[in-house]
Chains A and B, each alone.
Chain A
Amino acid sequence: MNDSATNETQAGTDAAGDEKVKLLSRGVKVFYGDKQALFDVDLDINENEVTALIGPSGCGKSTYLRSLNRMNDTIDICRVEGDIILDGDNIYDKAVDVVHLRARVGMVFQKPNPFPKSIYDNVAYGPRIHGIATGKEELDGIVQTALEKAGLWTEVKDRLDAPGTGLSGGQQQRLCIARAVAVSPEVILMDEPCSALDPIATAKIEELIDELRENFTIVIVTHSMQQAARVSQKTAFFHLGYLVEVDETEKMFTNPSDERTQGYITGRFG
């Protein structure tokens, strides 16, 4: 079921040798109360790559994604078993502080959710709470860089004091990406970031994801096969809580080894 990744639990290199594994999952099970939503997921996420998670609705993509930065902790009935290892440290270890973890593993949500504050304050919020910037100028710099990275700077540089909720949907989503980027995380998780956007805004964000790959490791959930094919290097197919198959994106879409993957990709179910 799993691909050829190593079994080393330390952040190692895989067989190809040139990619470093950033996030390693072994035997991840997630329960909502008595109901099990994920079964023994083993998945390696490489550094500076985009990993796409695909699968039919309700198969557990979001659940898996949210277990990567422990967002599941905010759901009372949710329980996670197994190991998720970020750069050699188990993130579910007692010694790991979620606040620190989430500063390292940022998240962009399905629906754009800017704070009801100014554009500037939206982006500056993360750096502020983590005390990343030492002064106003440094903070200004961080905000500008983040907005530039999110491809939003030229559009909003004259109205940083305007409310973030006043932007268009696509701009709001890029603002949310800027907000996540401003904390300088190592990994950015995106849960269907384009599902509320029109094709043009989607194209912009896809472009952006490709650029962000240089500095960040990205995990993206998507319902669009084309999007997965366009932006990702690696694709993982989930089905009914199981990770069915994971491989190079190109190979997944041309020559999947599992017939369920084949069926899903060609649109026979989903």
Chain B
Amino acid sequence: MTDATTMNAVSGSGLRKSHSGDIVKASLKRRYAAEKRFRAYGIAAILFALSMLAILFSTIIGKAVPALTQTMIQLEITLYPQDIDPDGTRDPDVLSTANYRKLIRQAMFDLFPDVTSRRDKRQLYDMISPGAVFTIRDQVLKDPSLIGQRMTFQMPMSDDIDQLNKGAIRADLPESERRVNDKQIAWFKRLESRGIVETVFNTTFFTAGDSREPELAGIWGAAVGSFFTMMVTLLIAFPIGVLSAVYLEEFAPVNRWTQAIEVNINNLAAVPSIVFGLLGLAVFINFFGMPRSAPVVGGLVLALMTLPTIIIAARSALKSVPPSIREAAFGLGASHLQVITHHVLPLAMPGILTGTIIGMAQALGETAPLLMIGMVAFIVDIPGGPLDPSTVLPVQIFIWADSPERAFVERTSAAICVLLSFLVIMNVGAVLLRKRFERKW
């Protein structure tokens, strides 16, 4: 009371030439200007972030688009019985080991009778992908009655020819600076003019595993590996994380032990991921003898890495449940567990799920710890389960980015797009799940 009166007295006796309204008015302009400036900074920051994002996406997508197509050749081939199955047994073992390469070479030489030197012949054959033999083999195995017939096969051309076709290798460069020589360019022109070269949608990329040959390499093996790894991570990290959070938040007494645990969980969240990889190598592979390169080990390692994220998110979600709801349930005679399962967990679920998805998204993009446990191995087969050797999307990107072949550049970008779409799908899933749990009342 006395303070207020003294202040009044001072302003009353002193400089009250104008009403304070005028002073306020004078300062208003300055205040609004400051606010406007602040808003402008904010908008500028957002625009900057958005443009960076746009640049990132447009370059990646732009680079990835060529990977969607593959240059193929329509080659007429005679399936000579004496080359494929000289004894006529039709034994699958014989059929699958037959020398189809010879047939393809023959077909190419027939197209170019003027090519005679050994060296030229080899270069001519090199224009066809080494994977072309599998195209023929698979069809013959499926239908052995084809043997002896002459028919047209659509086969991939080699990655260099593919790049030439797509314009990534430029014919106007000096011969020494490109991977396709002048002769091959001339042959390719002749093939094109015959109308047997075509560019088709690259299904291989979405259905195959890795390969040394870019035109045969696909993302599916890594995608399946990622799927198994994520499943293992989720199945381990989610229940353990939620249970730990519930225990720490609801049951644990507050003492030095629980405080130490809390501090360490926070520390764990900050541990560099590669350390988890070393831990996984030492514990899961060397000590427990689990299989190398397997999604189960990768999943375990990533689960360890994701756990702190989930625990921290779940705890804060549990904490944010209004205490009045707990009291209401306790007051009606609900047991502690009933209070948790009937009221607290359902209300905390959106927050827990958000935290989990964030953790999973981090895990999905994680590369370093998986390198430590051998998931960087070159694996051609599509994994059939979490125990099979496999790789994951980010590691596949890493491997391809590291490969010298020009054609892997576009595949790297395409793989990044696949990884990003996985992330988008996960985030959409998170939003949907959250909506489902988050009844608006």
Partner of A180, one of B332, B338, B439, B441: B332
Is there an interface contact between B441 and A165, defined as CB atoms closer than 8 Å? yes
Contacts of A129 in B (CB 8 A): 332-334, 338, 342
Mark the stretch among A97-105, A247-255, A261-269 that contacts chain B.
Answer: A97-105
Whether, in the assembled complex, A230 has its beta carbon less than 8 Å from a beta carbon of chain B, the answer is no
The distance in angstroms between the C-alpha atoms of A125 and B341, with both chains bound, is 13
Residues from chain B with Cβ under 8 Å of A108 in the complex: 331
Q: How far is the CA of A81 from the CA of B35 in the complex (A)?
A: 58
Interface size on A, as a range, is: 20 to 34
Q: Counting CB contacts under 8 A, is A71 at the interface?
A: yes
Nearest CB in chain B to that of A77: its residue: B254
Bits for B6-35, please: 1 = Cβ < 8 Å to A, else 0: 000000000000000000000000000000
A35-83 with Cβ < 8 A to chain B: 69, 71, 74, 76
Q: Does more than half of chain B's interface fall in helix, strand or loop, or is it mixed?
A: helix
B327 cross-chain contacts in A, Cβ below 8 A: 71, 74, 107, 109, 113
Smallest CB-CB separation from A189: which chain B residue?
Answer: B331
Across the interface, A102 reaches (CB within 8 A) one of B322, B332, B342, B439, namely B332
Separation of A127 and B115 alpha carbons in the complex (Å): 92
Q: Are A76 and B254 neighbours in the complex by a CB distance under 8 Å?
A: yes
Tell whether, in the assembled complex, residue A109 and residue B324 are in contact, meaning their CB atoms are under 8 Å apart. Answer: yes
Interface residues of A in 171-197 (CB under 8 A from B): 176, 179-180, 183
Enumerate B314-370 residues with CB–CB distance to A below 8 Å. 322, 324-335, 338, 342-343, 347
Chain A contact surface mostly = helix
Across-interface contacts of A176 in B (CB, < 8 A): 328
Q: Is the CB of B441 within 8 A of A109?
A: no
By beta carbon, the residue of chain A nearest B441 is A163
Please, which residue of chain A has its CB at the minimum distance from the CB of B331? Answer: A107
- Per-position 1/0 for A123-147, Cβ under 8 A of B: 0011001100000000000000000
CA distance A170 to B115 in the complex (A): 97
A99-B335, A115-B343, A165-B441 as given contacts; A74 in contact with B325, CB under 8 Å:
no
**B81: chain A residues within 8 A (beta carbon):** none
B331:A69 contact, CB within 8 angstroms: yes
Residues on A with C-beta less than 8 A from B441 are: 116, 163-166
Cβ-defined contact, B334 with A111, below 8 A: no
Q: Which residues of B contact A114 (CB under 8 A)?
A: 328
- CB–CB B326/A74 < 8 A: yes
A113 & B332 in contact (Cβ 8 Å cutoff): no
* Contact status of A113 and B333, CB under 8 A, knowing A165-B441, A166-B441: no
Cα distance A191–B361 in the bound complex, in angstroms:
46
Q: Which residues of B contact A107 (CB under 8 A)?
A: 327, 331
Instruction: Give the total of B residues in contact with A, Cβ under 8 Å.
Output: 21
Interface membership of A106, Cβ < 8 A: yes
User: Cβ of A106 and Cβ of B254 under 8 Å apart?
Assistant: no
Q: Does B429 contact A (CB under 8 A)?
A: no
Which residue from chain B places its CB closest to the CB of A108 in the assembled complex?
B331
Residue of A nearest to B338 (CB): A129
| Chain B hits for A163, CB < 8 A | 439, 441
B253 interface residue, CB < 8 Å from A?
yes
Please determine whether A109 and B333 come into contact, CB atoms closer than 8 angstroms: no
The contact of A99 among B322, B333, B342, by CB within 8 Å, is B333
| B254 partner residues in chain A, CB cutoff 8 A | 76
A179 and B253 within 8 A (CB)? no
Shortest C-beta distance, B109 to chain A (Å), equals 78
Q: Which residue of A lies closest to B439 (CB)?
A: A116
Q: Which residue of B lies closest to A116 (CB)?
A: B441
State the CA gap A109–B323 with chains docked (Å): 12
Docked CA distance A57–B126 (Å) = 92
Q: Which residues of B contact A71 (CB under 8 A)?
A: 327, 330-331
Known: A115-B343, A116-B347, A129-B338. A106 touches B331 (CB 8 A): yes
A113 touches B330 (CB 8 A): no
Q: With A and B bound together, what is the CA distance between A3 and B220 in angstroms?
A: 84
- Expressed in whole angstroms, the minimum distance between the Cβ of A149 and any Cβ of chain B is 16
Cα separation A179 to B326 with both chains bound (whole Å): 14
Residues from chain A with a CB closer than 8 A to the CB of B324 are 109, 111, 113
Give the CA-CA distance A113 to B331 in the complex, in Å.
11
Q: Which of B's residues lie within 8 Å of A, judged by CB?
A: 253-254, 322, 324-335, 338, 342-343, 347, 439, 441
Apart from the given pairs A107-B331, A109-B331, 19 other A-B contacts in the complex at a CB distance below 8 Å: A71-B331, A74-B327, A76-B254, A98-B333, A99-B335, A100-B333, A102-B331, A102-B333, A103-B332, A106-B332, A109-B324, A109-B327, A113-B325, A115-B325, A115-B329, A163-B441, A165-B441, A179-B328, A183-B333
Q: List 13 A-B contacts (CB under 8 A).
A: A74-B330, A98-B333, A102-B330, A106-B331, A109-B324, A113-B324, A113-B325, A116-B325, A116-B439, A129-B342, A166-B441, A176-B328, A183-B332
Q: Lowest 9 A-B CB distances belong to which pairs?
A: A163-B441, A102-B333, A107-B331, A113-B324, A103-B333, A126-B332, A113-B328, A165-B441, A99-B333
